[in-house]
Amino acid sequence: MKNINKIRMPFMGIIIAMLFTSCLKKGLPELPLADGNAITLVNAEYRFESGAKNMNGQSIVTNRTLTVVQGNIDKVNGIINVAISVPAAGSPVDFTAAEKAKVVQTKIWFNVNLSTAATISPTGGTPALGDPTDATKPLKYVVTAANGDVKVWTINVTSFSNN
C-alpha cells in the first residue's frame, strides 16, 4: 500500500500541474479594437399588463412590437428619423382594442442595434433604453466604440399613428 501511495502522489502532482497550464503563447499580436459607433436599427414596443397573473398573483407584463419605418440614417450627423405605427389589435390575444387605444407617443419603449462591441448611454435627459420614453422629443444617445471613439446619435419620431 505504501508503494502505491509513493507512486500516486507524484503522479497526482503531475496531473494537477498539467491542469493549471495554458496553451496560450506569450507575445501574441494585439488586434485592433472595433471602431464602429453606429446605431444600425431602431425598434419600438409597447408594454402592458396582460390581465393574466403568475403563480405569485402578480400581473404578467407583455409587449407588442410597434411598426417602425426607418428613414435614411444620416451617419455623418448621427440622425435617424423613424415613423411609428401601432399594429392592429388581437396579436397577442391580450392586445385588445381597448389596450391599443392606450398606446401613446409619450410612453414607448425603444431598443436599438449597435455596431459590434459598442456601448450606448442616454444623454440630454433621454431615458435609458428599456425605460418608457416620451418620443415627442428628440432622443439622444452616446454610442462609444470599443476603441473609445464617441458619437452622439439623435432619434427623431417624425410621425406616430394609432389608427
Kindly report the CATH class assigned to 39-161.
Answer: mainly beta
Q: What is the pLDDT of residue 11?
A: 82
**pTM, entire model:** 0.79
Q: How many alpha carbons fall within 13 Å on the CB side of residue 101?
A: 3
Q: What is the pLDDT of residue 2?
A: 65
Q: Running DSSP on this structure, what letter comes out for residue 145?
A: -
Alpha-carbon radius of gyration of the chain? 26
From CA 96, how far away is CA 99, in angstroms rounded? 5
Q: What is the pLDDT of residue 138?
A: 98
| CB-based contact 120:112 (threshold 8 Å) | yes
Low-confidence ranges of the chain (pLDDT < 70): 1-5, 22, 24
Q: What is the pLDDT of residue 1?
A: 59
